[in-house]
Amino acid sequence: SKFKGVQGVVYLRYAPPEQFAVPAKLDARSDLYSLGATLYHMITGRPPFVADSAQDTINKICSEEPVPPAQVLPEIPKPVSDLVIRLLAKAPSARYPSAADLLKDLEQVAPWDE
């Protein structure tokens, strides 16, 4: 299986829920989910879902909502937190339709320290 071993479990942390559907229906919004999981980890210091096994990780990705980054670290601005949570939406239709649309919102929230 492509998910065996430590490396596979790490990869799973960034996989979108639709990756585990049969058949998997992946598109550009799936990549945006993975970007959201990566951003979440970068700004909070932890992945959006942590579990002890690959199957538990998959279950959390598919059924649980991540804690908003601003609740993990209150210094994260709410607009940044909201952007990341939108990227991590379970339904692809609730995510940004394209990277260009995401970029528009990223430009609105950056830089944080101004």
**Residues 6+ positions from 84 with CB-CB distance below 8 Å:** 36, 39, 40, 43, 68, 69
What pLDDT is recorded for position 6? 47
What pLDDT is recorded for position 110? 78
Containing structural domain, residue 89: 5-109
What pLDDT is recorded for position 9? 52
Residue 114 lies in a domain: no
- Does the pLDDT at position 95 exceed 90? yes
Residue 29 lies in a domain: yes
CA–CA dist 109, 62 (Å, integer): 28
CA–CA dist 33, 16 (Å, integer): 6
pTM given for the model: 0.88
Residue 62 lies in a domain: yes
Angle between helices 54-63 and 5-12 (to 10 degrees): 10
If one counts the domains in the chain, the total is 1
Query: pLDDT of 18-76, one tens digit each?
Result: 999 888 899 999 999 999 999 999 999 999 999 988 899 999 999 999 999 999 999 99
Q: What CATH number has the domain bearing residue 52?
A: 1.10.510.10
